[in-house]
Structure 1
Amino acid sequence: MLLDTSSDNSQQSESISVASAIVKMLEDLGVEYAFGVSGGAIAPIWHTLQHSSIKLRHFRHEAGAAFAATEAYFASGRPIVVFTTTGPGITNALTGLFTARWEDAKVIFISASTSAPKRGRWALQETSNYTMPSAGIFTSESLFHYATTLECSEELPEVSRRLAKGLAKPNGFVAHLSIPTNIQANLVETSLASVNLSCTPATASEEAISECARLLTEGSFAIWVGFGARFAAAEIRKLAEKTGAAVMCSPRAKGIFPEDHPQFVGITGFAGHESVLKYMAECRPLRTLVLGTRLGEFTSFWSPAMVPSRGFVHVDIDPEVPGTAYPSAETVAIQSDVKIFVKSLLKRFPKRQNKSKIQSLPRPERSAINPSQDSPVRPEVLMNLMQRVIVEGSDAIVMAEGGNSFAWAINLLRFNKPNRFRVSTGFGAMGHFVTSVVGAALTHHDKAVAIVGDGAMLMNNEVSTAVSYRIPAVWIVLNDGRYNMCDQGSKMQGYKDMDVYIPQADFVMLARSMGADGIRVEKESDIQAALEMAMVSTSPFVVDILIDPTRIAPIGTRIFSLISQGAKN
């Protein structure tokens, strides 16, 4: 880097450390937050981050930091850095980083590695080809879009260019920069210019859009909305209302199209609504316009019932997506940014709407169950009250952990705005949202609420981190003393007497021991007051709810999918 240090305005190079050059590069790339766990081998980078404009947040576990980075990206739209030390620091973070890759987040992972002269000599937590596999962790493969080990400062310009190029892409980008400890402290003699790269979103040709419009006007069509369409909510609604098309959403896409809209027929796939299958059976469209979803197992279960008579017009930014889930179905593949495509498509439709047909569309059933004095709490009652107090009564981001938690939330909560609901139905790692609620609340600058099971809450939470930085995260724990999705699911598969039980924990005591606040709920009549208390609290807050374990969660489609794959007794 060049600094003006002379009185005659001539520039002379001033030596700075590699750590300082990297942190400056991250600042130029728009990084605002760095999450991680400290360690001696990463100390030069860690110290430099601590004294930069980047806000460093010290987590309690590397996986928690990586999960939190994923959701912090979705809440803020800015790339997040995750840092760890050598050895187990790296391996602990991998599950969270795989999640970032599956979710299409933008995360830069910076780790330490063993200095070259010490490799192969049993250094403490040695990180080298002698002790850890290189392929997949330190190379660009299925986990990292870009990965490299920085062996000298002269490589920095190329690293900067690669990171800038990756972050400029419209979809996700997960990178790994491994830096030997001695290199972090080395001096950089050459200048490192800022790299500003832009990437023009992929767009379909005018001819392709006209052909899509022609195909869709040949008969009735439905719109299947996925998470990749989240920036096109307004355009999709205009298209639906202009054409009268029925709209269904994947579990991750809840809220992109309003769930109270008369043209909304329901959520598809895991914990989805029976109204979708009723629509496909009774009002089968000629074609379905698929927008920004891979149509993977949890979105479709690859059900033949979801294939319209003339197949799909499938729009996605990734050209590998269309046709993959349903290889036998007729598919017109369009590589394009969804928002750009829908805006162009809108111009090619006359204004028309068949209101009588809209009124006859199947709709998800809504049944209100009134609270009682009963104990334990029925999950359906909890979700109804969460709808009123949290979904409708606040702007909080709501996220649901893998297991029965996300089954109940997907099926029963209703959203009318995009980007308010988060769920992972791809990688689906337990511990994702019990930790990432901290990152979401931090960068959302408001409440974030995680619906989690007791198993996930015991596995890996970051309540202490939230306390440390006064982050207004809320955990709603479905405490039933078991891995209840495994319990209910294994019984549906024909397996009996499986070991699924957990000693019932008191999560309020646990929260208070770390400096947070909380309340335990044992009766349905106490739910609303507890939720209201959590939402007005300025501290991290845990609502520990004793849940009725006998209420069967809407997980049947997942179990039937497993049985069809041979997982049965």
Structure 2
Amino acid sequence: MSTESITKTTNPSQQLERKAGFQPNHISHETSGGSSIFSPPSPNEQPVDSESTQVTVGEAVVKILEDAGVHCAFGISGGGIGPFWAALNRSNIQLLHFRHESGAAFAATETYFASGRPVVVFTTTGPGITNAITGLFAARGEGAKVILVSAITPAGNRGRWACQETSAHTMPLSGIFTPGPLFNYATILESADQLPEIARRLAQGLAQPGGFVVHISIPTPVQTTPLKAPLPEPGFSHALPVASEEAIAECVRLLSEESFGIWVGFGARHAAQEILELAEKTGVAVMTSPRGKGIFPENHPQYVGVTGFSGHLSVLTYMQEQRPQRLLVLGTRLGEPTSFWSPQMVPADGFVHVDIDPEVPGVAYPSAQTFSIHSEVKVFLKMLLKHLPERLNWSPTSMLPRPEGYANAPRINGLVRPDVLMNAIQRVIVEGSDAIIMAEAGNSFAWATNLLRFTQPGRYRISTGVGAMGHAVTGVVGASLGRYGKAVAIVGDGAMLMNNEISTAVRFEIPTVWIVLNDGRYNMCAQGMALQGFKGVDTEIPNTDFALMAKAMGADGIRVNTESDLEAALEKALLSTVPFVVDVSIDSTQAAPIGGRIRSLIKQGAIESKGDQK
């Protein structure tokens, strides 16, 4: 979108503040000249043609999205989506053009988690849709609320080799244009008569707890078709799933009579206070999934560590030496990234598993005894706390193992060691600001998850389901926009080269920060493949100056070659009013804490066979 197409003078964040009541999160920046996320160009009100007052299907869809709480839309315009894009551009929804559809989808996911509001991704036909799919899979896996609006080839042109044809002749319709593993709800809008049902399904799905990923595909001529009648207002009621009194009574009995621990996942992020109250009332140990970091304070004496990928040995010490009879599982699927399906994580009498999705309990450990509770976690805990007796029939262990850490002091010479970088990030960013911190798939994820410590929910974001490279380097732009404040991405050089949205942050003056672990290789691949016994794997990347690359795009950046320069560089990045890249020359020889993942892969057969050896 060119600057000439913008006719107002407010920026994306000013609109969010005006329309959604957003306030800056303790950050106030001033810029000289131009406009930014803290003072930027306004969206999209344009003069309305008084002779054309009849509402079109495209405009009606935009109105449905506004009524559903959408405040921003990300994507790339052009081609078949043009009329819908024009309707968006005239609306109160803030429109941001990205450089790649997958980046727009990743950013939409993180904007949702930062703001709590659904976000639209718009694409044209063909590759516009397929480019966005990986980011949308991440949205589904992470539990975000994201709505894809795409174009589709008009019915009369399907099968006639249309430009970027999108139809059953060129791609599978099932699963892309219909509900399934990717989309909770999907439809092709062929007629205005479908709009009431679409409005109802959107309103209902977006109001329910948990994620909701949608695809509405509209043929280009349908986007401009006039409505014949006004849309009815959708009306429905929605209640949170609540455990029965009988289920609560059984939980009280099980947890009162036998020792237990608490295993916290991302789905329990809205119940942090109740989890803390339950832990302190009972004195039990608490552990979290990688995505659950910060839901329970990691400096609390009852915290034993992170489980699964890049987790802490202290968790296994607890399970081996102070093994509880049961584990109360709150809001986690217990999948491979969280548990590695390790038998050591199964307590003697199994799990009490609480989840808002009734299909989750019992899946990861089908042979383990599991008492399943279908409930929203916060509601369940309030009921449990109300009925749990003051005195238990067992006594919790007073001394619990604590997560281990590294204590290397900065050195004057040599490349930057990853653990020293994480210590600097802990001091300057985690403890010195309220910024959201994201970590990219790879060694960045491993080091950050293992070494950073958080004391409140919502500040640490990773993707463990899809785990796509490119999620954090692009999603961080959406996180910064969604929270109206600083967001920091800890990423590898491979991910930074794969797919980033520095240019988008520059365009909308969103002061995002990227910290690049620059070691000239896909180092998780290099270290992991070596541990698996594979030899001769090409993982090297030609050296890139990311600080120079950032400046070439209009951002700012600094190259850090020694550990003594780390804190000053991070402080400069936090104070920057423009997008900023901290390019860190990393010592690639320090082994990342990925042993659990490698052992899991080897158990699944991911080792070099004799026939592969050369």
Please give the TM-score of this superposition, normalised by the length of structure 1: 0.96
Is 1:101 matched up with 2:140? Answer: yes
Runs of 4+ in 1 over 6 A off after TM superposition: 353-356
- 1:411 equivalent among 438, 450, 475: 450
Is 1:382 matched up with 2:421? Answer: yes
Letter in 1 for 2:587: D
Structure 2 residue matching 1:347: 3-state secondary structure: helix
Partner of 2:167: 128
Structure 2 residue matching 1:170: 3-state secondary structure: coil
Structure 1 residue matching 2:257: 3-state secondary structure: coil
- Asked if 2 retains the 8 angstrom alpha-carbon contact of 1:109 and 1:177, the reply is yes
Partner of 1:422: 461
- 1:236 equivalent among 267, 275, 281: 275
- Asked if 1 retains the 8 angstrom alpha-carbon contact of 2:119 and 2:145, the reply is yes
Structure 2 residue matching 1:319: 3-state secondary structure: coil
Partner of 2:188: 149
Deviates most, 210-219 or 331-340: 210-219
- 1:311 equivalent among 336, 342, 350: 350
Partner of 1:166: 205
Measure the CA separation in 1 of the matches of 2:555 and 2:394: 52
Is 1:504 matched up with 2:574? Answer: no
- Asked if 2 retains the 8 angstrom alpha-carbon contact of 1:383 and 1:408, the reply is yes
- Asked if 2 retains the 8 angstrom alpha-carbon contact of 1:482 and 1:502, the reply is yes
- Asked if 1 retains the 8 angstrom alpha-carbon contact of 2:256 and 2:393, the reply is no
Measure the CA separation in 1 of the matches of 2:414 and 2:282: 48
C-alpha displacement of 1:245: 1.0
Measure the CA separation in 2 of the matches of 1:309 and 1:426: 28
Is there any run of 5+ residues in structure 2 with no aligned partner, and where? 1-51, 609-614
Structure 1 residue matching 2:262: 3-state secondary structure: strand
Partner of 2:33: none
Partner of 1:10: none
C-alpha displacement of 1:497: 1.4
C-alpha displacement of 1:137: 0.6
Structure 1 residue matching 2:148: 3-state secondary structure: strand
Q: CA, structure 1 residues 356+142, in 2 after alignment: closer, same or farther (shift >3 Å)?
A: closer
Is 1:396 matched up with 2:435? Answer: yes
Is 1:287 matched up with 2:321? Answer: no
Structure 1 residue matching 2:387: 3-state secondary structure: coil
Is 1:262 matched up with 2:296? Answer: no
Q: Per-residue CA shift, 1:137-191, capped at 9, x if unaligned? A: 1111111011100111111111111111111110100000000001001111111
Measure the CA separation in 1 of the matches of 2:138 and 2:405: 32
- 2:559 equivalent among 517, 520, 539: 520
- Asked if 2 retains the 8 angstrom alpha-carbon contact of 1:35 and 1:56, the reply is yes
Letter in 2 for 1:83: F
Q: How does 1:271-282 map to 2 (within 5 A)?
A: 271-282=310-321
Measure the CA separation in 1 of the matches of 2:200 and 2:512: 36
- Asked if 2 retains the 8 angstrom alpha-carbon contact of 1:263 and 1:358, the reply is no
C-alpha displacement of 1:350: 3.0
C-alpha displacement of 1:43: 0.7
- Asked if 1 retains the 8 angstrom alpha-carbon contact of 2:259 and 2:395, the reply is no
Partner of 1:539: 578
Partner of 1:371: 410
Structure 2 residue matching 1:497: 3-state secondary structure: coil
C-alpha displacement of 1:193: 2.3
Deviates most, 340-349 or 456-465: 340-349
Q: CA, structure 1 residues 181+272, in 2 after alignment: closer, same or farther (shift >3 Å)?
A: same
Partner of 2:368: 329
Q: Per-residue CA shift, 1:482-537, capped at 9, x if unaligned? A: 00000000000001110101001010111011110000000000000000000000
C-alpha displacement of 1:359: 4.0
Measure the CA separation in 1 of the matches of 2:585 and 2:392: 48
Is there any run of 5+ residues in structure 1 with no aligned partner, and where? 1-12
Measure the CA separation in 1 of the matches of 2:53 and 2:496: 49
Aligned residues: 557
Please give the TM-score of this superposition, normalised by the length of structure 2: 0.89
Is 1:184 matched up with 2:223? Answer: yes
> What RMSD in Å do the two structures reach over aligned CA positions?
1.4
- 2:262 equivalent among 211, 223, 226: 223
C-alpha displacement of 1:87: 0.5
Measure the CA separation in 1 of the matches of 2:191 and 2:53: 18
- Asked if 1 retains the 8 angstrom alpha-carbon contact of 2:258 and 2:394, the reply is no
Identity across matched positions, percent: 67
C-alpha displacement of 1:352: 5.0
Measure the CA separation in 2 of the matches of 1:152 and 1:118: 16
Structure 1 residue matching 2:60: 3-state secondary structure: helix
Partner of 1:463: 502
